Amino acid sequence: MGTQETAPLDVERIREDFPILQRRVNDDQQIVYLDNAATTQTPNQVIDVFGDYYRGYNANVHRGIHHLSQEASIAYEEAHDRLAEFVGASGGREEMIFTKNTTESMNLVAYAWGLNELGPGDEVVLTEMEHHASLVTWQQIAKRTGADVRYIQVDETGRLDMDHARELIGEDTQMVSVVHVSNTLGTINPVAELADIAHEHDSYIFVDGAQAVPTRPVDVEAIDADFYAFSGHKMAGPTGIGGLYGKKEILEEMEPFLYGGDMITKVTFEDAKWNDLPWKYEAGTPLIAEGIAMAKAADYLDEIGMENIQIHEEELAEYAYNRLSEFDDIEIYGPEPGPDRGGLVAFNLDSVHAHDLASIMNDSAVAIRAGDHCTQPLHDTLGVAASARASFYIYNTREEIDVLIDAIDDARQLFA
């Protein structure tokens, strides 16, 4: 695969929508933001939603007869439909629950389904590259229920060992929980194939789409995911809001995760009756403006084109991978550039701790991430305590990657 960029995006035009990218720090150096796998920046079009909401129709939803409440309720409900459409869920709002983030979505299913359905002898199958949001959640639920957690191995190339997956997923498997795109290795996992294997054994599959939904077209029905989660702040949206897709028939059978206002239709001193989907899982006053803003982020990304975003991000990652590969003292983790690698690169520079490297990057106004990226067990498997990670999005350029490479050279000279 070559490094010729097809330039599907007008990056300079896109950058105009993100005022934070013009910030200058460290004696007037312009920020180079390469920490998008943690949080993407937010365009003016999404930021403006908050002003429009709080200045124009701020009210609680589903509670008022008055005009403002009606307007807010319609916008909030339509936001559910919009996000369902964005990920290919034909069931609309009934299959799209708003949560705080991917982590809460994982916990919702683990508590609402896992505590009630898992028991001794049951198995939950994860992968060695899972984010702590998945790994810790299912680990702790398994401890409470007596279920076992098993892990699909990662091979030497950074890909899942699919032969091992077929061995692990069996008749005792009740849930397979897998990350769509690894936030450390950049690996794009064959989630549709894993869904087929899971369903052959009457197991559910939960897909963590936090790194996939922002960067590539996602069709939850084509994948045949039973659950699929994502976060607004990784897709040019606000923090504190995420989406959980679930098949309607499964969501109807599950018990609520949280109790309180709006998730009920009738309450007596003795019992309560749950509301329709998705409100059954959205207790209390929700994140109204945030939900509407996340839908606006979906509009913004669709206007650019998800296929174009995928091409741009993966070409930047390939360019960064190839530039980093020029140096013998840099170790890169994950697959080589190709169809199963997404838009981030985790690496280490010999004899320089990742945290020290990130600090030196900061001196050059380059923002990267350093640490275990909420994948401590994976880093143990790799034999390293931490790694540096550069991750890319719609507003990044090759020139910014060149700045990264120059800053790495500064670190190399400093520690020589």
What confidence score (pLDDT) does residue 366 get? 97
What confidence score (pLDDT) does residue 416 get? 73
Burial of 336 (0-12, 13-18, 19+ CB in 10 A): middle
What confidence score (pLDDT) does residue 5 get? 45
What confidence score (pLDDT) does residue 147 get? 98
Residues 314/343, Cβ–Cβ less than 8 Å = yes
| Longest Cα separation, the chain | 72
From the list 11, 60, 2, 52, the residue with the least C-alpha distance to 295 is 52
Mean pLDDT of 263-278: 97
Convert the pLDDT of each residue in 133-161 to its tens digit.
999 999 999 999 999 999 999 999 999 99
Complete DSSP assignment for 26-55 = TTTEEPEE-BTTT-----HHHHHHHHHHHH
From the list 194, 188, 130, the residue with the least C-alpha distance to 334 is 188
Residues 89/220, Cβ–Cβ less than 8 Å = yes
What confidence score (pLDDT) does residue 26 get? 87
Q: How far is CA 54 from CA 50, 58, 383, 402, in A?
A: 6, 5, 49, 41
Q: Which amino acid is at 235?
A: M
Convert the pLDDT of each residue in 229-260 to its tens digit.
999 999 999 999 999 999 999 999 999 999 99
pLDDT band at 361 (very low <50, low <70, confident <90, very high): very high
Average pLDDT, rounded, for the chain: 96
Provide the whole-model pTM: 0.96
Convert the pLDDT of each residue in 14-69 to its tens digit.
999 999 999 999 889 999 999 999 999 999 999 999 999 999 999 999 988 999 99
What confidence score (pLDDT) does residue 317 get? 97
Q: How far is CA 398 from the centre of its chain?
A: 24
Mean pLDDT of 105-123: 98
Mean pLDDT of 209-216: 98
What confidence score (pLDDT) does residue 63 get? 80
Angstrom distance (rounded) from CA 307 to CA 298: 14
pLDDT at 6 over 90: no
| Per-residue tokens: 80 | 């559910």
What confidence score (pLDDT) does residue 203 get? 98
What confidence score (pLDDT) does residue 313 get? 96
What confidence score (pLDDT) does residue 256 get? 96
Angstrom distance (rounded) from CA 124 to CA 168: 10
pLDDT band at 2 (very low <50, low <70, confident <90, very high): very low
List the catalytic residue out of 374, 384, 385, 405. 374
Q: Encode 251-316 in three state secondary structure.
A: HHHCCCCCCCCCCEEEECCCCEEECCCCHHHCCCCCCHHHHHHHHHHHHHHHHHCHHHHHHHHHHH
- In the chain, count H helices and then E strands: 15, 17
pLDDT at 4 over 90: no
Mean pLDDT of 315-326: 97
Q: Which residues contact 152 (CB under 8 A, 6 or more apart)?
A: 125, 126, 127, 128, 160, 161, 164, 165, 168, 178
1-15, 116-130, 364-378: least confidently modelled range: 1-15
What confidence score (pLDDT) does residue 415 get? 86
Convert the pLDDT of each residue in 74-98 to its tens digit.
999 999 999 999 999 999 999 999 9
User: Is 374 a known active-site residue?
Assistant: yes
